[in-house]
Amino acid sequence: MDFNVKRLAADAGTFLSRAVQFTEEKFGQAEKTELDAHLENLLVRAENTKLWTERIMKQTEVLLQPNPNVRLEEFVYEKLEKKAPTRMNNHELLGQTMIDSGSEFGPGTAYGNALMKCGETEKQIGGAEREFIHGAAINFLTPFRNFLEGDFKTILKERKLLQVKRLDLDAAKTRLKKARMADARAAVSVPLAPRPSARGASLNQGFGGCFSRAFLQQQMCAEEVTEAEQELRMTQSEFDRQAEITRLLLEGISSTHAHHLRCLNDLVEAQTTYYAQCYQYMVDLQKQLGSFPSSFTNNNQSAASGGASASAPTIPVSASLPSAGGGSTASGGFNELRSSSASRRARVLYDYDAASSSELSLLADEVITVSSVPGMDSDWLMGERGNQKGKVPITYLELLN
């Protein structure tokens, strides 16, 4: 390996001169070239974009993976360029536990069957969550990370180079200022020619030597001024060129904001899809549980045959779930409504958001008119509210007398 002492000494000298220049600027003892207001605003906006992009990324990662240990493990695998081991998420773990427990109690029992259905639904939710996390990481986190590790690093590099060019420009201005001051002093110090006298040639020779030295010094100062002016023009040109490059990169932040806006729309769409899937899974589960008996007869009979002194309490499965009208009487009312062409008034039990244009959104406690349409699924009725009309699920309704 070559060891260039001259290069090392030059770099050390440059570093020391930069340190001195920074110190003098801080104390107001050296001239400092200020950037134009537009460029300063662009720099501030770029810093804010970087700061808030990092914060949004951090909180999004916490949302997608609340466990800090798992996040650390995924980070290590990413740096090692290896695939992280696949593990079940919390919903899938809960679902598998419910399925195992349902198998233990027996799929033929109401409780065991309900556990298995809940477990299957939890695993479906876990799968939807996995898809949501994967999509959010690709469509939202990756573009944000690419900005921080790519575009913004380029901006930092060019901004640092602009700082170096500014220091070079300020150093050239300082050199020119000192050269002009030295030239002015040299011009003042040139002696005037003395009047002729009878003191002899020795005096004239002494004056000639002094005049020659002063004139030579003035010429050297003039050359120093010329060189300093040339250096100033060169450094000014390099500074202007670097300022333009930096400005163009910083103005690209607007395109970055537009790209991040599209990524934000993708995230919202992914969340909407995920929550809609979870909602639909739970609605279907409620319908399945609502069809179960109101009490676990088999389990209670098993407890009684075991000779227990205290009987197990009767727990209604669908007590907190939307049921078809709330009981057998209401079920009979729905059956009568389906078999006739008449309409009935019904009270809405729960809020319901229409999933398509053919459905009608509902608000809890409002009263609507419902009727049966031939060929319609048995779990749905046709609802009317004023001029609005659409399908409504019967599990959200209670028929009124």
Domains of the chain, each with CATH number or no CATH: 31-192+211-291 (1.20.1270.60), 334-399 (2.30.30.40)
From residue 281, alpha-carbon distances to 102, 111, 336 in Å are 19, 19, 29
Tokens 């676990």 found at: 296
Both tokens of 334, joined, read 């729905």
Angle CA 141–147–148, to nearest 5: 90
- Asked if residue 356 has pLDDT above 60, the reply is yes
In this prediction, residues 62-91 reach a mean pLDDT of 81
Tens-place pLDDT, residues 297-346 = 344 444 444 443 333 333 343 334 444 344 444 556 777 787 777 888 99
- Asked if residue 61 has pLDDT above 60, the reply is yes
Tokens 């450094």 found at: 235
Q: What percent of the chain has pLDDT over 90?
A: 42
- Asked if residue 150 has pLDDT above 90, the reply is yes
Q: Which residues pair with 343 in a beta bridge?
A: 371
- Asked if residue 43 has pLDDT above 50, the reply is yes
Weakest-pLDDT range from 261-270, 322-331, 360-369: 322-331
What is the spatial distance between Cα 180 and Cα 229, in angstroms, rounded to a whole number?
Answer: 10
- Asked if residue 49 has pLDDT above 70, the reply is yes
Q: Is 322 exposed, middle or buried (0-12, 13-18, 19+ CB in 10 A)?
A: buried
Phi, psi values for residue 343, rounded to 5°: -120, 155
- Asked if residue 105 has pLDDT above 50, the reply is yes
- Asked if residue 199 has pLDDT above 80, the reply is no
- What's the whole-number average pLDDT of the chain? 80
Both tokens of 19, joined, read 């340190």
pLDDT number for residue 375: 82
Residue 271, sorted as left (phi over 0), alpha (psi -120 to 50) or beta, turns out to be alpha
Tens-place pLDDT, residues 205-247 = 554 556 567 667 777 888 888 898 999 999 999 999 999 999 9
Q: How far is CA 99 from the centre of its chain?
A: 37
Q: Where are the beta strands (DSSP E) in 138-288?
A: none
pLDDT number for residue 237: 94
Q: Which residue has the higher pLDDT, 194 or 371?
A: 371
